[in-house]
Amino acid sequence: ATSLTVEGLTRWLRTYATTIADHEEHLTELDAAIGDADHGTNMARGMTSVAALLDDQTFETLDVLAKKVGMALVSAVGGAAGPLYGTFWLRFAQPLAGLATADADQLSRALHAAVDGVRQRGKADVGDKTMLDALVPAVDAYDTAITQGADLPVALTRAAEAADAGCAATVPMVARKGRASYLGERSAGHQDPGATSAALLLRAAVK
């Protein structure tokens, strides 16, 4: 595929819902170590709500779909991750207004808007041991691949690889945002749950 279609975004979201269901326990275990042991439950509740939305409605454009996904996540998920992933999709929608398909550059703009939205909403950045440690390198890797002439699937694969590496890099970090920051130095030595779910999001795009 050289572009993201409504069907493609729907497939991405359905794959992510399945992935989250498969990783629910793992995400909750990661959150048990440095948070309040609910990240898997939160994400599963959110993505179940998104899957129901996909079952119930059909969408003509990418932005309307992404906006509904964002609203579903905000309303279904309590805690930090719901509003943050909700913001991701609400902002992802904005550069895609009225579009049924997005080419590689349009998808880049949507990904940047999404990640910048998370950054603003959470007042966090790379190095704070959050989902941004997976999301930011992923978008950078995507752009680099597109600039080098890669097609969309290859660029998304590079993004997923960078997200995995960014997620792994959270292990030694001391958390500066979210519940894990309450632990101070004791947050080091554990992989961040939100960076893990974010890396799974990029993986779902290429499955």
3-state secondary structure of 173: coil
**Spatial CA neighbour of 134 closest among 108, 159, 113, 163:** 163
| Cβ-based nearer residue to ligand ADP, 118 or 201 | 118
**Residue the block writes with tokens 């930011």:** 136
* Cβ neighbour number for residue 149 with a 10 Å cutoff: 8
Q: Which of 79, 86, 95, 137 binds ligand ADP (CB under 6 A)?
A: 79
**Of residues 147-186, which lie at the interface with ligand ADP (CB under 6 A)?**
177-179
DSSP codes, 58-80: --SSHHHHHHHHHHHHHHH--TT
With beta carbons less than 8 A apart as the criterion, state whether 172 and 15 touch: no
Residue of 7, 22, 25, 36 that binds Mg ion (CB under 5 A)? 36
- Which of the listed partners (ligand ADP, Mg ion, none) does 69 bind, with a CB threshold of 5 to 8 Å by partner kind? none
If one asks whether residue 28 binds ligand ADP (CB under 6 A), the answer comes out as: no
Q: Which does 177 bind (CB under 5 to 8 A by kind): ligand ADP, Mg ion, none?
A: ligand ADP
Residue from 24, 38, 161, 164 binding ligand ADP (CB under 6 A):
38
Residues 64-123 binding Mg ion (CB under 5 A) are: 79
Could you say which of ligand ADP, Mg ion, none residue 178 binds, taking C-beta under 5 to 8 angstroms by partner kind? ligand ADP
132 binds, among Mg ion, ligand ADP, none (CB under 5 to 8 A by kind): ligand ADP
Distance from C-alpha of 137 to C-alpha of 64, rounded to nearest angstrom: 27
Nearer residue to ligand ADP within complex by CB, 70 or 178: 178
CA 178, 77, 37, 44 dihedral sign is negative
Closest C-alpha to 133, from 195, 183, 80, 89: 195
Q: Does 124 interact with ligand ADP (rule: CB under 6 A)?
A: yes
Closest residue to Mg ion, judged by C-beta, is 79
Distance CA 164, CA 16 (A): 15
- x-or-dash pattern for ligand ADP, window 39-58, by CB under 6 A? x--x----------------
Q: Which residues bind Mg ion (CB under 5 A)?
A: 31, 35-36, 38-39, 79
